[in-house]
Structure 1
Amino acid sequence: MQKLVLIALAGGAGALSRYGLAGLVQRWAGGSFPLGTFAVNMLGCLLFGLVWGILEERAAFGPQARVIVLTGFMGAFTTFSTFAFESVALMRAGQWIFAVVNITGQNLIGFAVLFAGLKLARLVP
């Protein structure tokens, strides 16, 4: 139960960080391009790789700390970083077909189901 509470707290911190940083960047940049989200996703990937590399190489933290930081904070900060991590993990494991399916599938199917959701929303009275 303690692990779930810590993941929830880290997730809350990640979500608030995402909201704050994306808003700050978007206000600074202006315009209609979603630079705030772009910046958060790229920073999230950098931080996920940094934290993952440190935890993998130095093993200073146990598996519970990894879950709290990577799943809790980073997962709420940006799921894009988790998507990138899982894709790279598949590549590092030599599972190239799964990596390609994950990358193309999540992008193509993600857009398709988003459009499907928009169409379904029009049917709701």
Structure 2
Amino acid sequence: MTEPVDPDVELADARQRQELRRSHYRVLAVIAAGGALGTGARYAAALVWPTPAGAFPWTTLGVNTLGCLVIGVFLVTLTEAWAAPAWLRPFFATGVLGGFTTFSTYCVDIERLVSTGRAGAALSYLVATVVAALAAVTAGAWITRLILAAATRRKARRTR
């Protein structure tokens, strides 16, 4: 690699390499903290709404859809309306929501449905999750942009 990862860091300078290493550890720490919160919330959802063996995994579908909706709202808000601290995006988007949404469980659920002879339900679940996740993130982003635009228009009317 001929260019440094961060153009402000001169990799030949030992002090700057050390600073870059420390910043990576801080980012990993906030992601891990957020991930612990997100996985705890996902586990709580599974306890509150357990999926019986061989049943359609509505809880996992709901958790993944909700997480995608929230990430659509959050990232539009973060990138278009709010100057947040640098640690917030990795903490919440990658950590909390990455831990909350559970696409590994999604794959296990598909395998369980297939192994119990419910291939049709597995295929439905496979498609429904992808469609619901994409629709949720798109709706979250779209609705947030509409709300932000309406707020901007109201603010402009008040200043006239």
Tell me the TM-score normalised to structure 2 length: 0.44
Matches within 5 A, 1:54-65: 54-65=77-88
Does 2:34 match 1:10?
yes
In the TM superposition, what is the alpha-carbon distance from 1:30 to its structure 2 partner? 9.5
Matches within 5 A, 1:25-104: 25-26=49-50, 32-78=55-101, 80=103, 84=134
| SS at 1:26 equivalent | coil
May I ask how many residue pairs the two structures share in their alignment? 85
- Which one-letter code corresponds to 1:47 in the other structure? V
Maintained 8 Å contact 1:24/1:36: no
Does 2:74 match 1:20?
no
The 2-side partners of 1:21 and 1:51 are apart by 21
Over aligned residues, Cα RMSD in angstroms?
A: 3.1
Maintained 8 Å contact 1:11/1:73: yes
- Which one-letter code corresponds to 2:98 in the other structure? G
The 2-side partners of 1:30 and 1:24 are apart by 16
- Name the structure 2 match of 1:114: none
In the TM superposition, what is the alpha-carbon distance from 1:50 to its structure 2 partner? 1.2
The 2-side partners of 1:25 and 1:47 are apart by 20
Q: Deviations over 1:53-107 (max 9, x none)?
A: 2112213213431111101111111155xx85xx97xxxxxxxxxxxxxxxxxxx
The 1-side partners of 2:62 and 2:72 are apart by 15
**Stretch deviating more after TM superposition (44-53 or 54-63):** 54-63
**Where do 4+ consecutive residues of structure 1 move more than 6 Å?**
none
Maintained 8 Å contact 2:35/2:96: yes
- Which one-letter code corresponds to 2:81 in the other structure? R
More helix by share: 1
**Structure 1: 5+ residue stretches without partners:** 89-125
Instruction: Report percent identity of matched pairs.
Output: 36
Maintained 8 Å contact 2:34/2:96: yes
- Name the structure 2 match of 1:110: none
In the TM superposition, what is the alpha-carbon distance from 1:19 to its structure 2 partner? 1.1
Maintained 8 Å contact 2:35/2:95: yes
